[in-house]
A = this chain, B = another copy of it.
Amino acid sequence: MPKDRIVIIGGDAAGMSAASKIRRMRPDQAILVFERTDFTSYSACGIPYFIGGLIDDVDQLIARNPETFRDKYGIEVRTQHEVVAIDPQSQRITVRSRKNCEFTEAYDQLLIATGARPFCPDVPGANSSGIFGLSTLASGIRVREFLVNHQPKQAVVVGGGYIGLEMAEALIRQKLKVSLVQRSSQVMGTLDPDMGALVSKALKDVGVTLYLSERLEGFETSCGRVTGVVTDLRTLPADLVILGMGVRPNSELAGKAGVSLGEKDAIKVDNRMRTETENIWAAGDCVATLNRITGKPTYVALGTVANKQGVVAGMNLAGGDSQFPGVVGTAVSKICKVEVARSGLQEKELKALGYEYAVATIDAKTRAGYFPGAGPITVKLLGEKNSGRLLGAQIVGMEGAAKRIDTIATALTARMTVKDLVDLDLSYAPPFSPVWDPVQIAARKLVKTL
């Protein structure tokens, strides 16, 4: 089914992965992309490192700019063009250009790849300057400019998820005094509390002050600029605030057009990335995704997933047949010197789903204990009682710890038991691992209790 006119809304990971895949498969296919910002195909995950000064030039975060897409791939990207309406009946979209004039465009097949946006709480002062959410490259550039122009001294990060913690580190690196406010009693809610506590410790070790179990109530401002963060317990002075309270899918455009939404209001798609509306597809941070372990939909906003879904959508749009099989819940982050990884289900998910499970947590080293640079690593494994099936893992440790989660992700996908994990022929040499890999040390402990 090669189509006359493929239109893509959104020029980042999912949208441009799809466009590139279509181009490779169909050299003559007309492809038109509308992108609200100035940028295409950038690494949103790199933004904290740009703000922290580890990366100097914002261009390093851009894999391919609109000119490259046009000149090298024959893909037309209209930047600063926001799609404001979709009419599935007439198969036309309404676009608002940079000069604020509106026009309509026809499509034969439409891919929605509108991404996600940071959650912005509806509290007093939330619109003041000096308060930033982070999702687009443009927002990252604004924060870095703010650092240069206003030389803020005291930052408050609201929210202790991946972005919040990576930003806390970035601002410490830029020599700010950094506090972090988190409503729940732990940072990194995708980890169990015991593992989250290890991350809290790492943050404190680099000088981040944590205010856990505190609720954001508003912002103090002066002349339209933020001066403080008000919680239910105190007011923290702040001349820079980062919102890391999670993201929401940009699905309103689709929703208004009658496209079905699912988990957390993300767009509902099948495994070929088709929405329930004819000739409309969706991929990336705006869609709901299947969890391969539970068989239920979930919402994740991750660059890997967006890229993979974009490729699948592109193959199908180009007339191929490709499925996206879903995720197992893998995520990884580096917070200061500590690497954090998780995959599968965590305890609160297992309880909610009614699993009977057992837990083993072990402390080991990233290398042979005697090898220079061996650092601590803690591995927590979760397995199902009776069946012995592996259900999830969490890892917190020093350099070399995090990528071990890929073994878990692979084992989860293969529906391995914990005993299967013990039996794996994993690699060992003193610079890389103890003779039993920490993942297997944990599996050996867990297998006894299943």
Contacts from A to B (Cβ < 8 Å): 13, 43, 45-46, 49, 54-55, 60-61, 292, 302-305, 307-308, 324-334, 339, 341, 343, 368-372, 400, 402-407, 409-411, 413-414, 416, 420, 423-433, 435-437
Contacts and interface: CB of A to CB of B under 8 A. Distances in A.
A46 B414 contact: no
A43 B308 CA distance: 42
A311 to B, nearest CB: 8
A370 B413 contact: no
Contacts of A413: 414, 416, 420, 423-425
7 contacts: A55-B372, A60-B369, A332-B432, A334-B432, A407-B409, A409-B424, A413-B414
Given A370-B46, A370-B60, A414-B414, A406 B427 contact: yes
Contact of A436 (B55, B304, B429, B431): B304
Contact of A304 (B305, B329, B369, B426): B426
Contacts of A406: 404, 406-407, 424, 426-427, 437
Identical copies of this chain, number: 2
Given A420-B413, A435-B304, A45 B427 contact: no
B46 A430 contact: yes
Contacts of A405: 427
Nearest to A344: B425
Given A332-B432, A404-B403, A436-B307, A425 B45 contact: no
Given A54-B372, A61-B370, A332-B429, 9 more contacts: A43-B368, A43-B370, A45-B430, A46-B370, A304-B425, A325-B423, A329-B425, A407-B407, A410-B424
B429 A333 contact: yes
A245 to B, nearest CB: 20
Contact of A403 (B341, B433, B435): B433
Most chain B beta-carbon contacts within 10 A, residue among A331, A371, A431: A431
B372 A303 contact: no
B414 A330 contact: no
Nearest to A439: B406
A93 B304 CA distance: 60
Nearest to A291: B425
Contact of A400 (B400, B426, B427): B400
A435 B325 CA distance: 18
Contacts of A431: 334, 339
A426 B404 contact: no
Contacts of A433: 403
Nearest to A166: B429
B414 A410 contact: yes
A402 B429 CA distance: 10
Most chain B beta-carbon contacts within 10 A, residue among A307, A411, A428: A428
Most chain B beta-carbon contacts within 10 A, residue among A341, A406, A424, A425: A425
Nearest 10 pairs between A and B by C-beta?
A414-B414, A332-B427, A60-B370, A410-B410, A304-B428, A334-B431, A327-B425, A330-B425, A406-B407, A328-B425
Contacts of A46: 368, 370-371, 430
A231 to B, nearest CB: 29
Nearest to A342: B427
A316 to B, nearest CB: 15
A344 to B, nearest CB: 10
A343 B426 CA distance: 9
Given A406-B406, A427-B330, A430-B46, A371 B55 contact: yes
Contacts of A332: 427-429, 432
A43 B404 contact: no
Contacts of A410: 407, 410-411, 414, 416, 424, 426
A435 B303 contact: yes
Contacts of A308: 423
A370 B431 CA distance: 25
Given A427-B331, A427-B343, A403 B402 contact: no
